[in-house]
Amino acid sequence: MKLFKWEKGAALIFVFIVLITLSAIAFAFLTMVRDEITTSGAALADMQAFYIAEAGLAKARWALTEGEEAAGWGQEDISFGEGTYTLTTFDNGDDTYTITSDGYIPDDNNPVAKRRIVESDIPVTTELINFSSGAAASASSEQGANTADHANDGESSTKWKSAVNNGSWLKLAFGYSATLDRIIYTGNKIDSYTIECSEDDAVYQAVTNPVESPGGIVDFDAVSARYLMFNVNGNKPEVNELESYSIAGGASTILGRGEFITSW
């Protein structure tokens, strides 16, 4: 049995059917590609929102530490880049804080993208900062394994030991300008010492009015320093730890690392 009866003009109808089918396929394909583009556009906005939320997180960390804001502090609709962020901080009551930052593109009224970053359970401590930790240590001489970096490694069991007797020095480079008014040293065979500070590693000036208390605590007039020089005399003197502080600056709030949760 024949499906078509090839009469005059049937080819025209056949060609039309093929044409319409092809057009439908092409249209469907275009729609798919366009959707894909829209989706990737949304992904771009989403990424923008994410990094704006990160900026909010950075702001909150600044506010809680150097900004000296208490937990519970927050900000709404802060314009940033292409969007805005809103952030809240929360005291969990167990010496941990939680920071929530929402990034919006273009704003929180009609957002095309929203990303939330929560940093939860951040351990909070307030303590005097020991500037020495993290500083680069060097010395006039070192004996064997007792290298200069042992003097600021936070381990009282390790030490820096000079290879010579008098005229030895231990130097700490902070990498930034710190305000100092106290050092604490622990060591052995130190007959005498002087403390010098410098901003440029070229001109060193002795600290003024140093007063030593038991435990190797030396207080002096506040001085800003990028470099701290501890000059020691003795029979191959040793320094276990050389700590440096700013007592007048008071204790600082230190935020640890919390758990990161990001959500859309």
Partner 1 sequence: MRKGLTLIELTIVIALFSILTVAVFWSFTAGLRTWGSGKNRAAIRQDGSLAIQKMTRELSQAYSIRAANEDEITFWADAAGEEEISFVLEDTALLRKAGSIETVLTFDAQTFALSYRDLYDDVMTLPQDTASQGKRDNIRIVVISLNLNKGGEAITLSSGVYTRNQGL
Q: Please give the residue ranges that form the binding site for partner 1 (CB under 8 A).
A: 12, 15, 19, 22-23, 26-27, 29-30, 33-34, 36-37, 40-41, 43-44, 47-48, 51-52, 54-56, 58-59, 61-63, 66-67, 80-83, 129, 131, 134-136, 173-178, 199, 226, 252
If the CB atoms of residues 183 and 190 are measured against partner 1, the closer one turns out to be: 183
3-state secondary structure of 22: helix
If the CB atoms of residues 2 and 8 are measured against partner 1, the closer one turns out to be: 8
What is the closest distance, in whole angstroms, from the C-beta atom of residue 32 to partner 1 in the complex? 10
What is the closest distance, in whole angstroms, from the C-beta atom of residue 131 to partner 1 in the complex? 6
The answer to whether residues 201 and 138 touch, using CB atoms and an 8 Å cutoff, is: no
The tokens describing 89, both together, are 């901080």
Tell me the CB-side half-sphere exposure of residue 123, using CA atoms within 13 A.
4
DSSP element (H, E) containing 66: none
If the CB atoms of residues 128 and 217 are measured against partner 1, the closer one turns out to be: 128
CA 263 distance to own-chain centroid: 21
| Closest alpha carbon to 234 in 262, 200, 192 | 192
If the CB atoms of residues 59 and 161 are measured against partner 1, the closer one turns out to be: 59
The answer to whether residues 173 and 211 touch, using CB atoms and an 8 Å cutoff, is: no
What is the closest distance, in whole angstroms, from the C-beta atom of residue 8 to partner 1 in the complex? 9
If the CB atoms of residues 48 and 231 are measured against partner 1, the closer one turns out to be: 48
The answer to whether residues 87 and 57 touch, using CB atoms and an 8 Å cutoff, is: yes
| Closest alpha carbon to 237 in 140, 149, 166 | 166
Which single residue is written with the structure tokens 């901080």?
Answer: 89
What is the closest distance, in whole angstroms, from the C-beta atom of residue 111 to partner 1 in the complex? 16
If the CB atoms of residues 81 and 123 are measured against partner 1, the closer one turns out to be: 81
What is the closest distance, in whole angstroms, from the C-beta atom of residue 214 to partner 1 in the complex? 27
Give the separation between CA 253 and CA 255, rounded to whole angstroms. Answer: 7
What is the closest distance, in whole angstroms, from the C-beta atom of residue 143 to partner 1 in the complex? 22
